[in-house]
Amino acid sequence: MSEPLICPRCESDKTGVLTRSPVAGVWEVYHCEECFFAWRSTEPDFITDPAKYNPEFKLNRTELEQVSVMPTVPPLIYRHDKT
Amino acid sequence: MAYHDLRSYLDLLVSEGQLLRLTDPVLPEPDIGAAACAVNKLGATAPALLFENIKGYTNATVVMNVHGSWCNHALMLGMPKNTPLKEQFHEFVRRYEAYPGKVEERDSAPWQEVVLEKDINLFDILPLFRLNHGDGGFYIDKAVTVSRDITDWENPNTQNVGLYHLQVKGPTRIGIQPVPAHDIAIHLRRAEELGKDLPVAICIGNDPLISTVGSMPILYDQSEYKMAGALAQEPYPVVRTQSTGLQVPWGSEIVLEGRILSRVREGEGPFGEFTGHYSGARRMPVIEITRVSHRKNPLFEHLYLGMPWTEIDYLMGVNTCAPLHVQLKSAFPEIQAVNALYTHGLVVIVSTKRRFGGFAKAVGTRILSTPHGLGYAKLVIVVDETIDPFNLPQVMWALSTKFNPEFDLVTVPGLSVLPLDPASQPAGITHKLVIDATTPLAPENHGHYSQELGNPVGTELWLERLHTMVSSGDLK
């Protein structure tokens, strides 16, 4: 089983192994530190292969930083009570 | 008798022929999601699925579709599994109106058997998997998340227990989707206004009633545990968590404790949602998990959702109808029944008697200002009391013949709706529509309704007689 080099979704190389199968050698789960995508080595190639990943669902870090915020962050207020 | 944990309810499903054990090996993806999608296509009597042999795992058990049929819904309420839906609805409403039920605080729980506070890796602990191909990762989608208002900490009624989808992003990092109309968003706002983190407990693998109540649009100051007690008709057992002090279900399989990081938003999604569309990606809050407790060999309960109907439509069907029915009826005693089964009530059908011309339009617009209506009820159809709102051919007949667009449409512009509604523009804003498909009543005088058909004399007796003949085998 080879280490993944790039994220299938955003194609970043900042990826790592999250976990390995309790039964040795069956699968590994990887994640992308840039776009938070996670995938398993045994998934279909249209999930694991950057070239085959559905273009409608491709998403990179820059795009992810521009999507809407939900819920919005409220203004800070000062309270007199102990909380 | 109520079921205080998932295991005892699964035993019941086995004895009622409503649980299918899958012992042949399956891959986490795409097998579990595909099987759980497929089981919904078996119709309203579909069983739950128990996956006991998942490739790569030594002792993981995943259970899907626990709520995924009207049979299982009836069994959850302690009713015979073939109870008609409308009967289940009226029984649900009867118990709902007995709120508040009792809560029983216990000292210990089975989920305290195994505790982890160091070196936590959620991907090692939970058999996580991708449900739909476009999902941005592995999710927990059927846990109840418990939180309190940190400015009103001792108030048990505003403690919230809700189902929110959770993206497991790292060993201790989870993204959460608190839709602004949901109660947890109120707790989060109050904490974030003070720059403080919000303690949360995430409970996975539960008795069927708390999942139902957790996805139910009850009022902000109504306690989910008291509601579960009312629906169970016996005290609902809870236990306090050690690190957060939040009350969680006694019967949970797994409890994750942590906090929503104040004023942090991070990319999340997409996730295939109950709207039949993906959620899209958004920047949403982040939870840091600090403590994990679980039963030995815990059951991982998960839910398939996607193009309706799926398990989630059964889970949040009747429980959406009941509060709307009760809230509406408190204003208008003429209300007969409310059907909000479709997409959590984005469409609502109300059956009502009428006082005078224009009354049905008032009933329809009142739905829009109920708490649930703030995020749903994009289309409200009002029909006469003679129409069963759960009987769609009858509703279609009312629309076909009682409705005239010149007189019977009320459009209210620019209202709030859940941002997941793919038709909203911008996300979270939509026009809403009330269709009055009732018979006009004075001073309304449009249309010609003086010659509506009735059944020939004796039809009821013939119906009974034919039922008897058919069921006694006279067709042979």
CB B37 within 8 A of CB B29: no
Question: Is B46 found in the same domain as B88?
Answer: yes
Residue A81: predicted pLDDT? 57
Q: Where are the beta strands (DSSP E) in B308-462?
A: 335-342, 347-352, 379-384, 409-416, 429-437
pLDDT band (50, 70, 90) for residue A79: low
Residue B281: its chain A contacts at CB < 8 A?
59, 63-64, 67
Which chain B residues in 41-60 lie under 8 Å from chain A, judged by CB atoms?
55-58
Domain for residue B217, yes or no? yes
- DSSP string covering B78-100: TS-TT--HHHHHHHHHHHHTT--
**Is it the case that residue B108 has pLDDT exceeding 90?**
yes
- Taking 60 as the threshold, does the pLDDT of residue A83 lie above it? no
Q: Is the pLDDT of residue B189 over 90?
A: yes
Nearest to B194 among A37, A71, A83 (CB): A83
- Assess A18–B contact: CB distance below 8 Å, yes or no: yes
Nearest to A83 among B150, B282, B283 (CB): B150
The rounded distance, in Å, linking the Cα atoms of A67 and B86 is 42
Domain boundary among B306, B334, B355: B306
Domain count, chain B: 2
Of A42, A69, A73, the CB nearest to B27: A42
Query: What's the confidence (pLDDT) of residue B182?
Result: 87
CA distance B80 to B84: 9
* Helix or strand run (H / E) with residue B237: strand B236-240
Give residue B372's pLDDT band: very low, low, confident or very high (50, 70, 90).
very high
| pLDDT-derived band at B473, boundaries 50, 70, 90 | confident
pLDDT (average), residues A15-27: 96
B445 in a structural domain: no
CATH code, domain with B428: 3.40.1670.10
Average pLDDT value for residue range B366-387: 96
CB contact under 8 A, B193 and A74: yes
Quickly state the pLDDT bin for B331 (edges 50, 70, 90). very high
Per-residue pLDDT reduced to its tens digit, B413-442: 999 999 999 999 999 999 999 999 999 999
- Residue B166, beta-bridge partner list: B140, B176
Residue B465 within a domain: no
Contact B406, B374 (CB under 8 A): no
Model-wide pTM > 0.80: yes
Joined together, the tokens standing for residue B445 give 């005088």
Tokens of B66: 């626990």
Residues B229 and B338 in one domain: no
Same domain, B339 and B261: no
**Position B80 in a domain:** yes
Same domain, B154 and B273: yes
State yes or no: is B273 an active-site residue: yes
Q: CA A61 to CA B342: how far, in whole Å?
A: 35
Same domain, B83 and B43: yes
pLDDT bin (cut points 50, 70, 90) of residue B474 is confident
Q: Please, which pLDDT band fits residue B1 given cuts at 50, 70 and 90?
A: low
Whether B470 is in a domain gets the answer no
Q: Are B144 and B124 in contact (CB under 8 A)?
A: no
CATH number of the domain bearing residue B282: 2.30.110.10
**B358 domain-assigned:** yes
The one-letter amino acid code at B400 reads S
Q: pLDDT (tens digit, 9 = 90+) per residue, B263-279?
A: 999 999 999 999 999 99
B120 and B269 belong to one structural domain:
yes
How large is the average pLDDT for residues B246-256?
98
User: What pLDDT, on a 0 to 100 scale, did the predictor assign at position B475?
Assistant: 75
The answer on B251 and B104 residing in a single domain is yes
Q: pLDDT, tens digit, for every residue of A35-47?
A: 999 999 999 999 9
- How far is B348 from B343, CA to CA, in rounded Å? 10
Torsion of CA B165, B166, B169, B170, to 10 degrees: -160
Do B252 and B375 lie in one domain? The reply is no
Distance CA B165, CA B393 (A): 34
Q: What tokens appear for B99 in the block?
A: 């709120």
pLDDT tens figures, B41-97:
998 899 999 999 999 999 999 999 999 999 999 999 999 999 999 899 999 999 999
Alpha carbon distance B175, A71 (integer Å): 12
pLDDT of residue B440: 97
pLDDT of residue B102: 98
Q: Which of B306, B332, B348 is the endpoint of a domain?
A: B306
For residue B244, what pLDDT is reported?
Answer: 86
| Structural domain boundaries, residue B125 | 6-306
